[in-house]
């Protein structure tokens, strides 16, 4: 199959089926064709890696993203008959395309017996929000040359390897210049000019690796972003992105049964790329009042999916499908040995030699939601963390930590909790009651994303209603890992997320973070020194640890149970919540060492850490 | 067009045959006459009748409704013609609608797939928005002044069912180019409205957004539903072609051409109960194993992930089941709901609340602070097409729908005194003023509130009322109040630990790795957890007897969330239990017992409202058994619950520190009613309390309560009421017993009358249940403290003389404490010689009336 002209093969298959006398209504893509598409995966360009200007319409593309919203299914003519000027007839399919393809002077025979109506599902899919540069570079680099030349020019995504002055030390790994600047992620809007300059400087420096064309291309786009943040906001509005992104979202059209994908799930699709500049259909005023038409496909490209699968993670360094439990179980112990010490060392350097906070940070980085009750009453596994005392020599910790996390985690984002951003942004997604228009919320983040909330950016002033709502949304996210999808005038529906929140503040955070601890630096803050191998090991380790299974043996349960009773006798302030917290820490401690079941060491260590946190809080 | 008419003829004949059919005793004949009489023009046909009569016709109706509906309407028109041709001419056209069972064609907006295109479907959903009603031209009449001819033109678009769409333009001039004048008066218009119905959020699969469908309603159907309504719409699912730049895109917009709109009552839209479900429900309702009644089972099944707190769960179950609602002709309104207030000292309550949101059919959680009032108000907003008109169409979905549950999580109890909550609690209505619209809507809801203590930390040394910080007037409107405190007990702790551990461990088999785990008890029916160990974890959280963790696994069976939902809905829908004499008697007895425990500390004041509470709770329990009568057993359970809610944790701890240092009492008494141990532990009065009683620690409390300057620890609120009554009529002398005594004496007859009326208990309770608070119930409220005095041998006269004498003694001594021997001496001096025993008897009566307090050999003046 020609990846640039898949519809020809599909039409041919259709004609074959019709001629073979099979009922046209039962047409589905033949298995071998499907297999061909999947096999050709490596030759198919990714919509994110190529400039859409050079992507031929109706060619095959790959797309990876997160489901941000779903629309009503679309009813379309799956199979239809056309009538020519002389009364001759033909049967066609409109599978994998937006428009019917009637020949000149032919028209669709709506009364034909051959016509088959079907529905296809439409999903609004955004590029994985907060995805870090290295992930994107890996994917782009792993795609073979054939894929890259789908267009003449390849445009590596503008991204966000932000303020790392010492960037040279650690990012030569891929050799392809993950250049970049912070405002690729919209953070630039909040920064002053000086900072932006600072940021662009290393970006320019590193750009030396790249080909000349790429530099131009990329440099231009930087300037655009820097100069017209307003335009980006508008853009973001149209595209419905939780976070500003230079990559385009897409409207996926899925054939067959309801795919049943949930909101905020990540999917990977191969499909037919449709880019039709014709404006959407004319609607009457009344209809327009009822539903805002979707933007035209030139703005929001459509992808008619031939193959679609949901993905559990987007880390290129570990196998895509972790369904085989064994992989994690076998790989984790080794990964922990390789990666835990350097990671701990790097974190130690960042927080000025404070062992406790470095350990807590490490645990925070491998936390994820592992249990939820269906009724939303209990969510376990998340480990929100508040480090305070971010001042003096630690003042630039938010930026440093963000820079570091963006090199080791798959998705991370730094949010300055300034009054302005809190008062203007929107944490929860909304659907307008009058136009049905969906707008994305910041908290619509992919599974296992890390968010650093920088409370030091907060200044004196008044939060408006939206600001308060945003804070409440953050609180909900922290407590139950859910985000409310607000339907105007019709209440809201809660959707699950799995986002780890790290709050950095000067004093104790105003958010109800379960673990709050002041940083006590003992040494100078230094830049983390990691070799490429170590960085890669850490990248794999973090996701392996997140996906690992965990058990507590029977005898260990007994021991913990009696231990808990004793602890409660000694200190009445210890509650069930404390046990939840201790078990959570014990789980993370064990997993951080690559152990998949709780042993006495892990339990003792957890108690030690918890006691140290309590003690330090009391000392305050 | 012509062939269409031809095609219609045989169908019309069939419909005529069906509608005229005499074998059904002219059922539809009557309906048509009824329709004419009521000046309506829509006939609702039950598809089940059609199916019985003519299966072929029914099938045709479902699959090609465009033709059949038109044919049926023609047939109807013809029938009306023969019955009342004048009416027929006046109305012009008649319509048919459908009801009955639609089988696979009965769907939610999510179920509307392409195979249902062009079919007759029945869709359930919530109206999420409506347009205004527009007139739509059906026939225009034009007159040409030049030729003096008039011209008629009819219009149909893709939403018309009686024929193909007409594409003609609105004519401005005739064939010769002569201008035409439109005769608006002769033209015919029809009402036209478009609304969107959305999948009900509770029916959308987890993690997916609800879907919606546009509905076109014409003629008499416009404005039959408003936003927020849960409706069932029968109509034709139709695809409208989408034109784009001349070529057809092959994509269609779909609408539902409604022909019947039915409002869904709450009970109708319950997840459909299957026969098995009902069988299971009935089976469970008959279940009786020791104390493990259906009520306990249901209560236990609520929020299984929260350990213990069984009483609270029972309370919540009562809230879910509700009482019976009574609307009074006088405009009074008895809430048929239960209400709870949890005072969250320990965790878990919030989660319980969250659980509720999932368990009940309709609920709203509101965070009660000034910035979150939304759920109580309705919203008004503009539609895009009519930017100049404000329409009250977007009323808040939840506020307007009756019988659901509001839950509140309050962070600061003090801030909560929101008018709307009070309104909702008192009158079951909510008011909203927005964009010039000022109205009051019924909010029939149950209220569950959870609050933190006033100062964040529960102060065990003060009374619950002080900890909650809500005024009695509001607090007394809650039926039950539970105080949730974190307590220590090794056994409970280890169970708790086991429970926590289990939630950290539970994995469903086949769970994919890295997948956040959902703990759910799936399945529509009873869960089949093996009942290997029927060791009930029932009732008492505070004194649990289940040893160790080993048996934790074999916990008693619980029901699945879905089943509980169904059970509750079934119970609510099917049962309107009536109070039996027996239960009424029990309740009235229990009520007087409660009243007599006036001096005990309790969380809520016992008032006539308590009586309502008891009836409501008993009714709820009866519903849990699916019983049509409220029996004595129901009332007993209700009483247990009330006893628990009223007296558990109600008693503030005495402050140990203060006992030791009576001298410092004044300095920092932050708990006003700090110590009122008096009558709760009279048997073992501690010597150290003596000086305290004479000192002034509780003056503050007294001032607060009555503005009086004197009080003693044992003072009861009832007494203070009586005193304040006298105080109102003149300056109050703390040494003067006469005034209260007289007041009490005056009340004697009233009390007698009262007692007789309450002995005919059935009358009393029914009266109260009917909300007649002005009558007997109020009288009851007035009779406060007398009950205790009954049953002594000492005559009233004698008592009065004794009281006067004792008073005189205190007056002469100018002291509030006196030794009993001193008292006897002093009394002897006044000519009243008594033995110590006699004196003690009399003092005991006075103590019961809260006039004095006797401790060992010391008598304190109260």
Q: Residues A578-587: what's their mean pLDDT?
A: 88
Contact check, Cβ <8 Å, A70/B247: no
**Do B167 and B235 share a domain, yes or no?**
yes
**Do A185 and A171 share a domain, yes or no?**
yes
Between residues B312 and A328, the one the model is more confident about: A328
Rounded to an integer, what distance in angstroms lies between the CA atom of residue A6 and that of residue B532? 61
Strands A482-487, B149-154: pairing kind: unpaired
Q: B348 pLDDT exceeds 50?
A: no
Which of A78-82, A262-266, A288-292, B309-313 has the largest mean confidence?
A: A262-266
Chain A residues with CB-CB distance to B501 below 8 A: 552, 557, 560-561, 579, 583
Rounded to an integer, what distance in angstroms lies between the CA atom of residue A190 and that of residue B778? 65
Contact check, Cβ <8 Å, B513/A328: yes
A576 part of contact set with chain B, CB < 8 Å: yes
What stretches of A355-426 show up as alpha helix (H) in DSSP? 355-365, 397-408, 419-424
Q: Distance (Å) from the C-alpha of residue A197 to the closest C-alpha of chain B?
A: 41
Which of B572, B355, B315, B129 lies closest to B363 in space, CA to CA? B355
**Do B111 and B259 share a domain, yes or no?**
yes
**Do A283 and A363 share a domain, yes or no?**
no
- Other beta carbons less than 10 A from residue A572's beta carbon: 11
Residue A218 located in a structural domain: no
Nearest CA in chain A to B118: A117
**Do B215 and B125 share a domain, yes or no?**
yes
**Do B125 and B60 share a domain, yes or no?**
no
**Do B110 and B220 share a domain, yes or no?**
yes
Residue A237 located in a structural domain: no
Residues whose CB falls within 8 Å of the CB of residue A567, separated by 6 or more in sequence, listed in order? A574
Residue A208 located in a structural domain: no
Rounded to an integer, what distance in angstroms lies between the CA atom of residue B638 and that of residue B588? 13
Q: B632 pLDDT exceeds 50?
A: yes
- B655-713 pLDDT, tens per residue? 544 333 434 433 333 333 333 333 333 333 333 333 333 333 334 433 443 433 333 33
Tell me, what's the pLDDT at A364?
A: 93
Residue B706 near residue B723, CB atoms below 8 Å: yes
Q: Residues B299-311: what's their mean pLDDT?
A: 64
Residues whose CB falls within 8 Å of the CB of residue A483, separated by 6 or more in sequence, listed in order? A264, A427, A428, A429, A441, A443, A444, A473, A476, A477, A494, A495, A497
Rounded to an integer, what distance in angstroms lies between the CA atom of residue A139 and that of residue A160? 16
Q: Distance (Å) from the C-alpha of residue B267 to the closest C-alpha of chain A?
A: 20
Tell me, what's the pLDDT at B202?
A: 66
Distances (CA, A) of A366 to A163, A545, B504: 24, 6, 17
Q: Distance (Å) from the C-alpha of residue B243 to the closest C-alpha of chain A?
A: 6
**Do A184 and A115 share a domain, yes or no?**
yes
Q: A441 pLDDT exceeds 80?
A: yes
Q: Residues B339-353: what's their mean pLDDT?
A: 37
Q: A601 pLDDT exceeds 60?
A: yes
Q: Residues B631-659: what's their mean pLDDT?
A: 67
Run of H or E including A268: strand A266-274
Contact check, Cβ <8 Å, A564/B307: no
Give the ipTM: 0.74
Mean of per-residue pLDDT scores for chain A:
76
Interface size between A and B, measured as CB pairs under 8 A: 261
- B153-197 pLDDT, tens per residue? 777 776 666 666 666 666 777 777 777 777 777 788 888 888 888
A106 part of contact set with chain B, CB < 8 Å: no
Tell me, what's the pLDDT at B624?
A: 78
Q: B347 pLDDT exceeds 70?
A: no
Task: Among A544, A574, A609, give the residue marking a domain's end.
Answer: A544
Q: Distance (Å) from the C-alpha of residue B519 to the closest C-alpha of chain A?
A: 4
Residue A216 located in a structural domain: no
**Do B802 and B839 share a domain, yes or no?**
yes
Q: A497 pLDDT exceeds 60?
A: yes
**Do B166 and B241 share a domain, yes or no?**
yes
- B58-116 pLDDT, tens per residue? 888 888 888 888 888 888 888 888 877 788 777 777 888 888 787 778 888 888 888 88
Contact check, Cβ <8 Å, B129/A434: yes
**Do A181 and A47 share a domain, yes or no?**
yes
Residue B626 located in a structural domain: no
**Do B179 and B214 share a domain, yes or no?**
yes
Residue B123 located in a structural domain: yes
Tell me, what's the pLDDT at A184?
A: 37
Between residues B307 and A130, the one the model is more confident about: A130
Q: Residues A598-612: what's their mean pLDDT?
A: 91
Tell me, what's the pLDDT at A26?
A: 67
Residue A40 near residue A91, CB atoms below 8 Å: no
**Do B110 and B96 share a domain, yes or no?**
no
Q: What percent of chain B has pLDDT over 70?
A: 45
Contact check, Cβ <8 Å, A375/B359: yes
Host domain of residue A174: 6-202+246-311
pLDDT-derived band at A405, boundaries 50, 70, 90? very high
Q: A130 pLDDT exceeds 90?
A: no
Q: A91 pLDDT exceeds 90?
A: no
Contact check, Cβ <8 Å, B504/A546: no
Contact check, Cβ <8 Å, A565/B113: no
**Do A487 and A423 share a domain, yes or no?**
yes
Q: How many domains does chain A have?
A: 3
Mean of per-residue pLDDT scores for chain B:
60
Q: Distance (Å) from the C-alpha of residue B127 to the closest C-alpha of chain A?
A: 10
pLDDT-derived band at A593, boundaries 50, 70, 90? very high
Residue B40 located in a structural domain: yes
Tell me, what's the pLDDT at B297?
A: 73
Tell me, what's the pLDDT at B435?
A: 37
Task: Among B231, B253, B268, give the residue marking a domain's end.
Answer: B268
Tell me, what's the pLDDT at B470?
A: 61
Task: Among B82, B101, B120, give the residue marking a domain's end.
Answer: B101
* SS3 per residue for B285-322: HHCCECCECHHHHHHHHCCCCCCCCHHHHHHHHHHHHC
Q: Residues A544-557: what's their mean pLDDT?
A: 86
Buried b (16+ CB within 10 A) or exposed e, A233-272: eebbeebbbbbbbbbbbbbbbbbeeebebbbbbbbbbbbb
Lowest mean pLDDT among A354-358, A603-607, B736-740: B736-740
Residue B570 located in a structural domain: no
A498 part of contact set with chain B, CB < 8 Å: yes
Q: What would the two tokens of residue A441 be?
A: 């919320």
Chain A residues with CB-CB distance to B253 below 8 A: 75, 287
CATH number of the domain to which A540 belongs:
3.40.50.300
**Do B174 and B240 share a domain, yes or no?**
yes
Q: What would the two tokens of residue A427 be?
A: 């944490």
Chain B residues with CB-CB distance to A568 below 8 A: 488, 490, 493
Chain A residues with CB-CB distance to B500 below 8 A: 576, 579-580, 583
Tell me, what's the pLDDT at A436?
A: 66
Chain A residues with CB-CB distance to B126 below 8 A: 490
CATH number of the domain to which B164 belongs:
2.40.50.140
- A442-489 pLDDT, tens per residue? 888 988 899 999 988 888 888 888 888 898 899 888 888 888 888 766
What stretches of A149-206 show up as alpha helix (H) in DSSP? 167-170, 193-206
Chain B residues with CB-CB distance to A281 below 8 A: 242-244, 249
Residue A238 located in a structural domain: no
**Do A592 and A456 share a domain, yes or no?**
no
**Do A85 and A118 share a domain, yes or no?**
yes
pLDDT-derived band at B273, boundaries 50, 70, 90? low
pLDDT-derived band at B131, boundaries 50, 70, 90? confident
Residue B74 located in a structural domain: yes
Contact check, Cβ <8 Å, B209/A70: yes
**Do A307 and A330 share a domain, yes or no?**
no
Tell me, what's the pLDDT at A146?
A: 47
Chain A residues with CB-CB distance to B198 below 8 A: 490
Q: Is residue B549 exposed (0-12), middle (13-18) or buried (19+ Cβ within 10 Å)?
A: buried
Q: Is residue B831 exposed (0-12), middle (13-18) or buried (19+ Cβ within 10 Å)?
A: exposed
Q: A72 pLDDT exceeds 50?
A: yes
Q: Is residue B611 exposed (0-12), middle (13-18) or buried (19+ Cβ within 10 Å)?
A: buried
Residue A213 located in a structural domain: no
Q: Count H helices, E strands: chain B?
A: 29, 28
Residue B365 located in a structural domain: no
Q: Residues A513-525: what's their mean pLDDT?
A: 88
Lowest mean pLDDT among A424-433, B165-174, B258-267, B537-546: B537-546
CATH number of the domain to which B44 belongs:
3.30.1640.10
Task: Among B84, B101, B118, give the residue marking a domain's end.
Answer: B101
**Do A144 and A93 share a domain, yes or no?**
yes
**Do A366 and A474 share a domain, yes or no?**
yes
Contact check, Cβ <8 Å, A491/B241: no
Tell me, what's the pLDDT at B705?
A: 39
Q: How many domains does chain B have?
A: 3
Chain A residues with CB-CB distance to B398 below 8 A: 491
Residue A567 near residue A574, CB atoms below 8 Å: yes
**Model-level pTM?**
0.64
Tell me, what's the pLDDT at A387?
A: 92
Buried b (16+ CB within 10 A) or exposed e, B107-143: bbbbebbbebbbbbbbbbbbbbbbbbeeebbbebbbe
Contact check, Cβ <8 Å, A290/B194: yes
Residue B500 located in a structural domain: no
A313 part of contact set with chain B, CB < 8 Å: yes
**Do A391 and A518 share a domain, yes or no?**
yes
Task: Among A511, A544, A577, give the residue marking a domain's end.
Answer: A544
**Do B96 and B112 share a domain, yes or no?**
no
Host domain of residue B40: 1-101
Residue B711 near residue B699, CB atoms below 8 Å: yes
Residue B523 located in a structural domain: no
**Do B125 and B256 share a domain, yes or no?**
yes
Q: Distance (Å) from the C-alpha of residue B374 to the closest C-alpha of chain A?
A: 9
Chain B residues with CB-CB distance to A97 below 8 A: 250
pLDDT-derived band at B27, boundaries 50, 70, 90? confident
**Do A251 and A291 share a domain, yes or no?**
yes
């Amino acid at each position: 199959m020609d990846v640039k002209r898949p519809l020809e093969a599909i039409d041919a298959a259709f004609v074959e089926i019709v001629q073979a006398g099979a009922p046209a209504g039962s047409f589905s893509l033949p298995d071998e064709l499907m297999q061909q598409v999947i096999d050709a995966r490596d030759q198919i360009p990714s919509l994110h890696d190529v400039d859409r200007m050079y992507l031929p319409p109706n060619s095959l593309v790959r797309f990876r993203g997160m489901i941000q919203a779903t629309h009503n299914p679309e009813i379309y003519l799956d199979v239809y008959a056309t009538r020519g000027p002389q009364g001759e007839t033909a049967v066609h399919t409109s599978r994998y395309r937006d428009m019917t393809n009637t020949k000149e002077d032919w028209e669709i025979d709506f009364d034909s017996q051959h016509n088959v109506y079907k529905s296809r599902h439409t999903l609004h899919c955004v590029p994985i929000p907060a995805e870090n540069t290295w992930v994107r570079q890996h994917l782009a680099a792993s795609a073979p040359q054939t894929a890259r030349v789908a267009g003449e020019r390849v445009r590596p995504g503008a991204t966000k390897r932000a303020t790392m002055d010492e960037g040279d030390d650690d990012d030569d790994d891929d050799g392809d210049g993950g250049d970049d600047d912070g405002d690729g992620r919209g953070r630039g809007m909040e920064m002053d000019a000086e900072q932006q300059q600072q940021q662009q400087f290393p970006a320019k420096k590193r750009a030396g690796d790249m080909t000349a064309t790429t530099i131009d291309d990329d440099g231009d786009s930087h300037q655009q972003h820097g100069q017209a943040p307003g335009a980006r906001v508008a853009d973001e509005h149209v595209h419905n992105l939780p976070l500003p992104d230079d990559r385009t979202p897409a409207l996926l059209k899925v054939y067959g049964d309801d795919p049943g994908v949930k909101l905020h799930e990540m999917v990977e699709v191969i499909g037919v790329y449709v880019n039709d500049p014709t404006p959407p259909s004319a609607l009457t005023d009344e209809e327009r009042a009822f539903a805002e038409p979707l933007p035209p496909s030139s703005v929001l490209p459509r992808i008619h999916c031939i193959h679609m699968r949901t993905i559990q993670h987007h880390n290129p360094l570990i196998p895509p499908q972790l369904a085989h439990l064994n992989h994690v179980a076998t790989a984790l112990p080794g990964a922990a040995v390789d990666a835990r010490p350097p990671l701990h060392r790097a974190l130690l350097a960042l927080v000025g030699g404070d062992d406790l906070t470095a350990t807590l940070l490490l645990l925070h980085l491998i936390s994820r939601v592992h249990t939820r009750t269906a009724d939303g009453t209990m969510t376990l596994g998340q480990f929100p963390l508040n480090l305070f005392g971010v001042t003096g020599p630690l003042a630039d910790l938010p930026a440093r930590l963000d820079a570091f996390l963006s090199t080791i985690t798959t998705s991370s984002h730094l949010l300055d909790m300034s009054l302005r951003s809190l008062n203007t942004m929107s944490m929860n997604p909304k659907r307008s009651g009058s136009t049905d228009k969906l707008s994305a919320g910041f908290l619509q983040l992919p599974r296992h994303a890390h968010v650093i909330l920088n409370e030091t950016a907060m200044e004196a002033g008044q939060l408006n209603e939206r600001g308060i709502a945003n804070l409440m949304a953050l609180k909900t996210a922290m407590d139950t890992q859910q985000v409310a999808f607000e339907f105007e005038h019709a209440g809201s529906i809660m959707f699950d997320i799995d986002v780890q929140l790290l709050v950095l503040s000067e004093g104790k955070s105003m958010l109800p973070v379960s673990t709050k601890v002041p940083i006590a630096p003992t040494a100078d803050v230094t830049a983390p020194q990691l070799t490429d191998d170590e960085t890669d090991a850490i990248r794999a380790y973090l996701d392996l640890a997140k996906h690992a299974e965990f058990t507590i043996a029977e005898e260990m349960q007994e021991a913990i149970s009696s231990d808990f009773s004793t602890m409660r006798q000694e200190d009445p302030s210890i509650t069930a919540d404390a046990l939840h917290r201790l078990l959570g820490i014990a789980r993370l401690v064990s997993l951080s060492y690559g152990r998949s079941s709780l042993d006495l060491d892990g339990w003792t260590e957890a108690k030690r850490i918890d006691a140290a946190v309590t003690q330090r809080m009391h000392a305050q | 067009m012509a062939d269409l008419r031809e095609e219609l003829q045989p169908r019309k004949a069939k419909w005529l045959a069906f509608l005229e059919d005499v074998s059904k005793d002219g059922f539809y004949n009557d309906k048509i006459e009824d329709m004419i009489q009521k000046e309506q023009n829509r006939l609702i046909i039950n598809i089940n009748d059609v199916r019985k009569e003519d299966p072929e016709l029914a099938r045709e109706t479902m699959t090609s409704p465009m033709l059949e509906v038109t044919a049926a309407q023609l047939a109807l028109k013809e029938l009306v013609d023969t019955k009342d041709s004048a009416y027929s001419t006046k109305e012009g056209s008649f319509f048919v609608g459908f009801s009955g069972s639609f089988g696979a064609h009965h769907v939610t907006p999510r179920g509307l797939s392409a195979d249902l295109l062009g079919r007759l479907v029945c869709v359930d959903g919530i109206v999420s928005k409506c347009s205004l009603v527009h007139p739509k031209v059906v026939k225009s009449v034009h007159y040409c002044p030049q030729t003096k001819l008039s011209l008629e033109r009819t219009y149909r678009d893709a939403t018309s069912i009686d024929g193909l769409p007409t594409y003609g333009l609105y004519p401005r001039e005739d064939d010769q180019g002569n201008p035409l004048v439109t005769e608006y008066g002769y033209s015919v218009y029809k009402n036209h409205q478009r609304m969107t119905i959305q999948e009900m959020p509770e029916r959308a699969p987890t993690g997916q957004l609800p879907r919606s469908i546009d509905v076109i309603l014409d003629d008499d159907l416009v404005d039959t539903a408003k936003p927020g309504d849960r409706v069932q719409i029968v109509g034709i699912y139709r695809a409208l072609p989408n034109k784009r730049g001349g070529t057809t895109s092959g994509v269609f917009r779909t609408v539902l051409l409604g022909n019947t709109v039915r409002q869904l009552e709450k009970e109708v839209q319950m997840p459909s109960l299957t026969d098995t479900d009902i069988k299971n429900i009935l089976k469970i309702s008959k279940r009786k194993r020791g104390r493990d009644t259906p009520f306990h089972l249901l209560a236990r099944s609520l929020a299984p992930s929260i350990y213990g707190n069984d009483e609270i769960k029972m309370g919540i179950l009562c809230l879910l089941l509700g009482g019976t609602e009574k609307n009074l002709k006088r405009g009074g309104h008895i809430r048929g709901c239960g209400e709870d207030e949890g005072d969250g000292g320990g965790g878990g309550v919030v989660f319980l609340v969250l659980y509720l949101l999932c368990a009940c059919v309709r609920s709203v959680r509101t965070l009660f602070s000034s910035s979150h009032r939304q759920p109580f108000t309705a919203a008004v907003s503009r539609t895009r097409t009519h930017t100049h008109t404000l329409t009250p169409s977007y009323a808040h979905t939840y506020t307007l729908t009756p019988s659901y549950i509001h839950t509140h999580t309050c962070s600061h109890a003090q801030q909560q005194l929101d008018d709307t909550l009070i309104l909702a609690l008192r009158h079951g209505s909510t008011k909203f003023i927005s964009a010039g619209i000022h109205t009051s809507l019924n909010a029939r809801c149950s209220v569950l509130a959870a609050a933190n203590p006033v100062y964040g930390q529960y102060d065990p040394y003060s009374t619950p009322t002080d900890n909650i910080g809500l005024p009695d007037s509001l607090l007394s409107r809650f039926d039950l109040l539970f105080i949730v405190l974190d307590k220590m007990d090794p056994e409970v702790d280890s169970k708790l630990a086991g429970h926590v551990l289990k939630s950290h461990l539970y994995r469903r088999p086949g769970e994919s790795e890295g997948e956040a785990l959902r703990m759910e008890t799936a399945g529509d029916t009873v869960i089949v957890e093996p009942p290997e160990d029927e060791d009930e974890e029932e009732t008492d959280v505070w004194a649990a007897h289940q040893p160790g963790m080993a048996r934790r696994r074999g916990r008693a069976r619980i029901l699945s969330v879905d089943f509980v939902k169904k059970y509750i809905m079934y119970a609510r829908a099917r049962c309107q239990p009536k109070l039996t004499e027996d239960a009424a008697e029990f309740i009235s007895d229990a009520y007087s017992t409660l009243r007599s425990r006036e001096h005990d500390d309790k969380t809520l004041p016992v008032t006539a409202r308590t009586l309502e509470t008891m009836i409501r709770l008993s009714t709820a329990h009866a519903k849990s058994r699916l019983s049509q009568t409220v029996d004595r057993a129901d009332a007993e359970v209700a009483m247990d619950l009330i006893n628990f809610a009223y007296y558990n944790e109600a008693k503030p701890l005495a402050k140990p520190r203060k006992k030791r240092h009576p001298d410092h009492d004044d300095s920092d008494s932050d708990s006003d009613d700090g110590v009122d141990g008096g009558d709760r532990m009279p048997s073992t009065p501690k010597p150290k309390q003596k000086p305290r009683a004479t000192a002034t620690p509780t003056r503050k409390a007294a001032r607060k309560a009555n503005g009086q300057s004197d009080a003693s620890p044992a003072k009861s609120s009832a007494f203070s009421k009586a005193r304040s009554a006298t105080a109102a009529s003149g300056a109050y002398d703390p040494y003067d017993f006469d005034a209260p005594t007289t007041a009490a004496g005056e009340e004697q007859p009233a009390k007698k009358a009262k007692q007789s009326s309450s002995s005919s208990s059935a009358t009393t309770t029914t009266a109260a249940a009917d909300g007649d608070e002005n009558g007997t119930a109020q009288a009851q409220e007035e009779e406060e403290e007398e009950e205790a005095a009954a049953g002594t041998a000492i005559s009233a006269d004698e008592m009065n003389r004794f009281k006067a004498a004792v008073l005189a003694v205190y007056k002469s001594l100018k002291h509030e404490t006196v030794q009993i021997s001193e008292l006897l001496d002093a009394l002897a001096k006044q000519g009243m010689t008594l033995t110590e025993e006699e004196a003690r008897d009399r003092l005991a009566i006075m103590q019961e009336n809260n006039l004095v307090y006797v401790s060992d050999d010391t008598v304190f003046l109260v």
